[in-house]
Amino acid sequence: MNPTSRKFLSYYRPYLGLFIKVMLCALLVAGIALVFPLLVRHLTKTVLEQPSQQALQGLYETGALMVLLVVVQTACGYYFDYRGHAMGAMMETDMRAELFNHLQKLSFSFYDNQRVGQLMSRITNDLLSLTELYHHGPEDLVIYTVKFLGAFVILAWINVPLTLALFLFIPVMVVFALYFNKKLNRAMRANKERIADVNAQVEDTLAGIRVVKSFANEQVEGAKFGRENRRFLESRKSTYRHESYYFQGMTAFTQLMTVTVVVFGGISIVNAALDLADLITFLLYTGFLVEPIMKLSHITQQYQEGFTGFQRFMEIMEFHPDPEDNPQALVPKTVRGDLEFRDVGFRYESNPNFVLRHVSLQVPAGDYVALVGSSGVGKTTICSLIPRFYEVTEGAILLDGVDIRRISLDALRRSIGVVQQDVYLFAGTAAENIRYGRPEASDEDVIQAAKLANAHEFIMKLPQGYATDIGQRGVKLSGGQKQRLSIARVFLKNPPILIFDEATSSLDNESESVVQESLERLAVGRTTLVIAHRLSTIRSAKHIVVLTDGGIHEEGTHEILLNRNGTYARLYRMQFEL
């Protein structure tokens, strides 16, 4: 058994007891269905041939038995239908949770190459069909196998030549089914890919709806959506075309089988090789032969849709979290905040060129270090390497003398607070967004963090204060207000290491002043790295590091670097002497 099949079957393990009971009920339903034609044959061939009084007694007894069987069959059918579907839904829920948790473990490198809409489609649409497959797959296999084999045995017992005549159709039908199943599989996989593209386009357009409207580009976005929508339509039409070939072909085969029974059965009656009661029974059991073959298209479609969804599920699950925790990962009791870069080099997986090379830097605990340089020289990359959002390609980064690759990811990231230029706030209230820094924090802690971040005053002016819903991504707030909420979130987290990634570069002067005051208050007593766009915000930094394409080019204080009249001085003059 290949690893994919083992993984597929592993989701039954938590529900094995329920699965066995569902299968036993399915087996009973199929077995009872096989008994009914035999009871009809018994009535027409034996009971009705007896004297009237005995015939009536036999009819009552057989009828009572049939009613009892109907009750048992209905009860079993209810159980496997309801509980079986519930089992499939629970397994789908387990898989969705596993996929979501796995996605949270994947690195920034993974998300650099993915679209959110595509990933959403894998979590939702792709897994929906698995409920039906996990439930109906084994159940249909049991029911239709029992019916098919049972019907074959009973038909052969009644009339071997006529049974063999029917079975001449089977190899042709199997070849026909396999051919079109292969085509259906390709078409259904294309469907899932196309609907994922539609989701991705919708997500992209709606996430940027303000930009769309500001440029009056609704028609442009409509054209892009229309293109993806038409591609999905074409893939659906291809599926329906192959489904039609399949269904109509299988219907023709089953009708020909019925014709064969009627014609050859009639000939057998004429030749006294078969009686009318056996022909009626034969026709009833032919339905059991036809039913699995007719349902084969549905079963196959269900399998193709479900397993295609599972394959796409596995494509994501096979991405290994990067970075991963060392099996002997350390969890420091305290973190002072000493940082050291030892000959660090880094390049992205998709790019052979190094973004950073031979970067060596020491940041003592509590120091305030600013990183400056033109765009693209690796300032943000350096800061992304510290919490291991990306893994260093060469060299090592040490925290308190320990390689960060030996420290638990959770412990490492809990020791670092990041304030970014592009603030992300979650849909919810102001208090909920601040509490994200420490979910177990009390209301008093949240308010104290907001005060330290200069956010309390504006929050209290909101319609419901801290309970005000701030909208998706905080759209109801100004840029400065969003930034102060993000700073309050870090205050609440209270980490020993801070990273400010151009946190004030997109703000107006008044907002920048308020936010800068909050940042300086937050930085007191913490190891702080600042990516600076506006050099006026870092004049008081103890250590300024100037980066160029060649790595670290200059280091020193503001005054030393100005007197050196190098790259920093040139950047400073560009901002303040134009």
Q: pLDDT tens, 468-483?
A: 998 877 888 888 888 8
Contacts of 6 (CB under 8 A, 6+ apart): none
**Residue 294 pLDDT:** 66
pLDDT at 293: 67
Q: What is the dihedral of CA 303, 304, 305, 307, to 10 degrees?
A: 70
Looking at residue 427, what is its pLDDT? 82
Neighbours of 292 (CB within 10 A): 19
Mean pLDDT, residues 509-535 taken together: 79
Type of residue at 48 = L
Question: What amino acid occupies position 358?
Answer: H
* SS (HEC) of 334-395: CCCCCEEEEEEEECCCCCCCCCEEEEEEEECCCCEEEEECCCCCCHHHHHHHCCCCCCCCEE
Q: Tokens for 297?
A: 């298209």
DSSP state of 552: E
pLDDT at residue 340 tops 80: yes
Residue pair 493/422 in contact by the 8 Å Cβ criterion: no
Which pLDDT does position 551 carry in this prediction? 82
pLDDT in tens, 407-418: 998 899 899 998
How far is the C-alpha of 281 from the C-alpha of 36, rounded, in Å?
A: 10
Is the pLDDT score of 123 beyond 80? yes
Model confidence band, residue 297 (pLDDT cutoffs 50, 70, 90): low
Tell me the pLDDT band of 19, cut-offs 50, 70 and 90. Answer: very high
pLDDT band at 466 (very low <50, low <70, confident <90, very high): very high
Residue range 122-141: mean pLDDT, rounded: 81
Q: Which has more confidence, 287 or 155?
A: 155
Mean of all residue pLDDT scores within the chain: 84
pLDDT of residue 14: 92
* pLDDT tens-place string over residues 252-275: 887 888 888 888 878 877 887 777
Find the mean pLDDT for residues 452-475. 88
Considering the chain, what percentage of its residues have pLDDT values greater than 70?
A: 96
**Please, is 461 exposed, middle or buried when counting C-beta atoms within 10 Å of its C-beta (0-12, 13-18, 19+)?**
exposed
Instruction: Over range 529-553, report the average pLDDT.
Output: 82
pTM, rounded to two decimals: 0.70
Q: Is the dihedral of CA 213, 217, 223, 228 positive or negative?
A: negative
pLDDT for position 62 = 83
For the chain, helix (H) and strand (E) counts, in that order, are 20, 10
* In the predicted structure, residue 302 carries a pLDDT above the cut 90: no
> What was the pLDDT predicted at 71?
94
**Pairwise pLDDT comparison (502 vs 62), residue with the higher score:** 62
Q: Would you give the distance in Å from CA 457 to the centre of its chain?
A: 40
120 by Cβ neighbours in 10 Å (0-12 / 13-18 / 19+) ranks as middle
pLDDT at 326 over 80: no
pLDDT one-digit tens code per residue, 517-528 = 787 888 888 898
pLDDT tier at 246, thresholds 50, 70, 90: confident
Task: Please give the pLDDT value at position 507.
Answer: 62
The per-residue pLDDT for 576 is 67
Please tell me the predicted confidence (pLDDT) of residue 394: 92
Q: So what's the architecture of 97-317 in CATH? A: Up-down Bundle (1.20)
Give residue 366's region: left, alpha or beta (phi > 0; psi -120 to 50): left
Confidence bin at 541 (pLDDT 50/70/90): confident
